[in-house]
Structure 1
Amino acid sequence: MFRSLRRALCAAATALLLPLGAGVQSAGAAGASADASAGASAGASAGASATAEASAGYWHTSGRQILDAAGQPVRIAGINWFGFETGNHVVHGLWTRDYKSMLDQMRSLGYNTLRVPFSDDILKPGTMPDSINYADGKNADLQGLTSLQVLDRIVAYAGQAGLKIVLDRHRPDAGGQSALWYTASVPESTWIANLKALASRYAGNPTVVGIDLHNEPHDPACWGCGDTTRDWRLAAQRAGNAVLSANPQLLIMVEGVQSYGGVSGWWGGNLMGVAQYPVQLDVPNRLVYSAHDYATSVAQQPWFSDPSFPDNMPGVWDRYWGYIFKQNIAPVWLGEFGTTLQSTVDQKWLAALVTYLRSTSTYGADSFHWTFWSWNPNSGDTGGILKDDWSTVDTVKDGHLASVKAPGFPGGGGGDPDPDPDPGGGTAACSAAYTVSSDWIDGFNAEVKVTNTGTTPVNSWKVTWTWGASQWVTSMWNATYTRTGATVTASNAAHNGAVPAGGSASFGFGGAPGGGGVPSVSCTAA
């Protein structure tokens, strides 16, 4: 609940620490006179031509499903990359890396959708990005561009990489989060006009598949109270219909509020009012409800101290937002969730949440949708998928998400990429190295690296070990497992079974209790 403040402080501190030497552009540098509107049509057409690899055009809804243009179910399985909503007026990390390498890495990890927070400041003519590194050819094509023109380039390359984008109106201005969708300096009319401008800017470009109308409405915002100055549901209808008048093919993402019927929760995470007061849009099959949910690294909530935690959590999620999916009212998108994973409570929370999201497999092709918070490591209360070097992946966090990533994307399952890799024959063999990455009295985390030691690619592998003490697996990522007595057999996930000769794959797991040491492991390949 205090996430936005801490994030803003973290972003400000990061900006202060950035080098201001050659190759780093600060606000007001070259190109400051470039008008945001001047590049609108050019940016949109450039993006539209770069979407050949994005999946099947625009998306729409049917009941609780999101369908592609061919009517096939899709799952939003994505990541938040923030910065456009801060004083930098651009996604963070470009002081270190090229934006294209970031998007390529997201795609390689199996994320299919990027949620991009922004503030209305970037729609002001001449707003320039701050702290972009142009040295050594990094981000060379961004030099001199306004913030909005940089967004055009990100949209264009995301389309090339096969990523969809949801634009998230995160803040009215870079100063901070607002409880309501308007402020004294950014009235509702500006909010709606800017949303329509973005919808028009990317019309015809199905890389931009949706708009999240406003981030985390909270008290005094209400749902269904009828007061037009506070009723978020009515405001969402006004804004959603305005967006659809500019581009009727977009998905409209509507978050919840904080309190409804005397029951309080996360900012934007309370969708209890939908049952009585659903959002009604002029264009059918475009509405997606969005919730946010966090762990104790963001703030305490009463359910974390419930004696039945974490078994109580599915009931909590059902009450606040899960019922919308289960009653086939509309699709549900968990637009933000995250944690540092430092506490045992947070580890249990994330494991329980992923299990809850995955449990929808019992509904066939239907699914909850999600975008994890965040790609950035500089989110003060959650950290990110990337570590502080803006390059290394936090494999524990990313591994938790592996089982709910979208089929058909690298890192998220799908078919065999090479069904007959060695028709001439060869030797399939593998070895495994088991490493304990952390160990404490009550538990431990371990990682296992599988290496193809044969002369031909393998399609699948299994790793087996036997514990000498009464230990057990509490969670596993990038693999599945079975246990017989003290013997555990871990099998590859769908996305990492194919390993080229000399290549490697890895998986990890949590176990309990601690102090078990490192057992001998064996690996078999096929």
Structure 2
Amino acid sequence: MFRTLRRALCVAAALLLPLAGTQSSAHADVGAQAGAGYWHTSGRQILDAAGQPVRIAGVNWFGFETDIHVAHGLWARDYKSMIDQMKSLGYNTIRMPYSDDILKPGTMPGSINHDGKNTDLRGLTSLQVLDRIVAYAGQAGLKIVLDRHRPDAAGQSALWYTASVPESTWIANLKSLAARYKGNPTVIGIDLHNEPRDPACWGCGDTARDWRLAAQRAGNAVLSVNPELLIMVEGVQSYNGANGWWGGNLMGVAQHPVQLDVPDRLVYSAHDYATSVAQQPWFGDPSFPANMPEVWDRYWGYVFKQNIAPVWLGEFGTTLQPAVDQKWLSALVTYLRSTSAYGADSFHWTFWSWNPNSGDTGGILKDDWQTVDTAKDGYLEAIKAPGFEGGGSGPDPGGPGGPGGTPACTAAYAVSSDWGGGFNAEVKVTNTGSTPLKSWKVTWAWSGAQKITSMWNASYTQSGTSVTAVNAAHNGSVPAGGSASFGLGGTPGGGAAPSVTCTAA
């Protein structure tokens, strides 16, 4: 992304498994639904190893590209609890930005709290920490896309090479990462270079500037080492006089497609942002936001709609502070969701960002690195992957025992992390009846003095030890056999999981 932070706000992603010793999460049973094995493409679809359609629906967790050479937030939390929370919210993929600096021998991470947190990361190099994150993702059945975000920690680059990091180094490092994770389908792909921009061109034929040709060279080099990986190719900034977001312009694909030596491995990627990042002409159009689908179709959506290749919106984000940004995100989610008209096909996406310290967008987490921004997460709920938050599918309600049945549900409560002073938990609601739920309510009573401090994807009331949680507007409807989930934070920690009761309507 080309904002002030992604480049400069470095202070001192989807994989989740419960903390050690805990075998529970609201999503612990849906790992297989993230798509087993390596993934490949067919037309506009991405398919898992069994040939089933899958959706990348995740977050960006940045930091390895910055001057501390490691994912941010590990000064505040254990990486396992961070990942735990990602999965509890229903994200199935992490886009993990890095710079080529982490491939230099002996590069060490900074700003990791080892005092009771991240103890297994002590003394590890940056690449070894990345290995641990990848391993934890794999245990959870979630996926990682590696993103070459910067040539070095100093900042992004318009072209894929710089004076200090030539093309040969870029390709050698891409091949090194491909070899490092060969045979490990947790790492499903590599985003070759983040946000190519002017003077980068698409299809102009100048080997020093033509990003499409460079992507072919790098993509084929990666596939020569690991032919199972997806090759993610972002757009450019300008094409035939049409200017857009950095990396967000895929207009040139129609006339100049990327051609890889291994079939069914190419995914095109675009970035799109709101006014909290920068102004664009379309925000001032009198018809905004009704004009946005045509804008998205023109810049990148047509690649999907014409069945050329899958399209992955690798970055999109906003502070949600201006009203125009709220309208933009609502319109974008509707646009991404509208692909249900294409059956099992779908746009793919990773939200920018998980981190709260992205200067012009903020993140899914708030500044305490713990509390969820429920407004942002709520917008994304409708486009999360099937099998996650409200995305489950089950028997046809028109089948035996269908529409006339009595609504029924069960709920499962699981503590995902507990640090003594507080805890996080997830509750999974499952429709056990033969008719769709219109709404649901979960109740319980704690045996101790626990108090809810935050809840996402549901609303609640608490009176003494008794709690009642009611579905949010976006996840009350649950198909027969499907499920929805919500999460909560509370204090103090150390309490036992209560028995919960689900009431359906």
Q: TM-score, normalised by structure 2?
A: 0.78
The C-alpha deviation readout for 1:353-392, integer Å capped at 9, x for no partner, is 0000000001100000000000000000000000001011
How far 1:162 sits from its partner (Å)? Answer: 1.9
How far 1:10 sits from its partner (Å)? Answer: 1.6
Secondary structure of 1:135's aligned partner: coil
Distance (whole Å) between structure 2 residues aligned to residue 196 and residue 131 of structure 1: 28
Secondary structure of 1:73's aligned partner: coil
Structure 2 unaligned blocks of 5 or more: 13-30, 395-408, 410-428, 434-439, 444-455, 489-496
Counterpart contact for 1:294–1:337, Cα < 8 Å: yes
Instruction: Specify the alignment match of 2:309 in structure 1.
Output: 330
Is 1:449 the counterpart of 2:459? The answer is: yes
Q: Name the Cα RMSD after superposition.
A: 3.0
How far 1:7 sits from its partner (Å)? Answer: 2.8
How far 1:461 sits from its partner (Å)? Answer: 6.9
Q: 1:141 to 1:461 in 2, by over 3 A?
A: closer
The C-alpha deviation readout for 1:119-156, integer Å capped at 9, x for no partner, is 000000000001000002x1111100000010000000
Distance (whole Å) between structure 1 residues aligned to residue 457 and residue 441 of structure 2: 20
Pairs within 5 Å for 1:35-74: 55-74=35-54
Instruction: Specify the alignment match of 1:7 in structure 2.
Output: 6
Is 1:495 the counterpart of 2:484? The answer is: yes
The letter of the residue matching 1:9 is A
Distance (whole Å) between structure 1 residues aligned to residue 203 and residue 343 of structure 2: 33
Secondary structure of 2:174's aligned partner: helix
How far 1:314 sits from its partner (Å)? Answer: 0.1
How far 1:261 sits from its partner (Å)? Answer: 0.4
Distance (whole Å) between structure 2 residues aligned to residue 6 and residue 504 of structure 1: 45
Structure 1 unaligned blocks of 5 or more: 16-50, 422-427, 432-445, 464-475, 482-492, 506-523
The letter of the residue matching 1:8 is R
Instruction: Specify the alignment match of 2:20 in structure 1.
Output: none
Q: 1:266 to 1:504 in 2, by over 3 A?
A: farther
Secondary structure of 1:132's aligned partner: coil
Instruction: Specify the alignment match of 1:277 in structure 2.
Output: 256
How far 1:498 sits from its partner (Å)? Answer: 12
Is 1:257 the counterpart of 2:267? The answer is: no
Task: Report the structure number with the largest CA radius of gyration.
Answer: 1
Secondary structure of 1:234's aligned partner: helix
Instruction: Specify the alignment match of 1:357 in structure 2.
Output: 336
Pairs within 5 Å for 1:245-394: 245-394=224-373
Counterpart contact for 2:356–2:366, Cα < 8 Å: yes
Q: Which runs of 4+ in 1 moved over 6 A?
A: 51-54, 428-431, 460-463, 497-502
The C-alpha deviation readout for 1:156-192, integer Å capped at 9, x for no partner, is 0011122100000000000001000000000000000
Distance (whole Å) between structure 2 residues aligned to residue 164 and residue 360 of structure 1: 22
Instruction: Specify the alignment match of 1:82 in structure 2.
Output: 62
The letter of the residue matching 1:65 is Q
Query: Percent of aligned positions with the same letter in both sequences?
Result: 77
The letter of the residue matching 2:459 is K
The C-alpha deviation readout for 1:184-216, integer Å capped at 9, x for no partner, is 000000000000000000000000000000000
Is 1:157 the counterpart of 2:136? The answer is: yes
How far 1:418 sits from its partner (Å)? Answer: 5.0
Instruction: Specify the alignment match of 1:140 in structure 2.
Output: 119
Counterpart contact for 2:237–2:247, Cα < 8 Å: yes
Is 1:196 the counterpart of 2:175? The answer is: yes
Counterpart contact for 2:8–2:155, Cα < 8 Å: no
Counterpart contact for 2:159–2:200, Cα < 8 Å: yes
How far 1:409 sits from its partner (Å)? Answer: 2.4
Is 1:166 the counterpart of 2:145? The answer is: yes
Is 1:236 the counterpart of 2:215? The answer is: yes
Distance (whole Å) between structure 2 residues aligned to residue 63 and residue 316 of structure 1: 22
How far 1:255 sits from its partner (Å)? Answer: 0.1
Distance (whole Å) between structure 2 residues aligned to residue 253 and residue 79 of structure 1: 16
The C-alpha deviation readout for 1:67-111, integer Å capped at 9, x for no partner, is 000000000001000000000100000001001111111111100
The C-alpha deviation readout for 1:273-313, integer Å capped at 9, x for no partner, is 00000000000000000000000000000000000000000
Secondary structure of 1:169's aligned partner: strand
How far 1:477 sits from its partner (Å)? Answer: 3.9
Counterpart contact for 1:59–1:209, Cα < 8 Å: yes
Counterpart contact for 1:59–1:66, Cα < 8 Å: yes
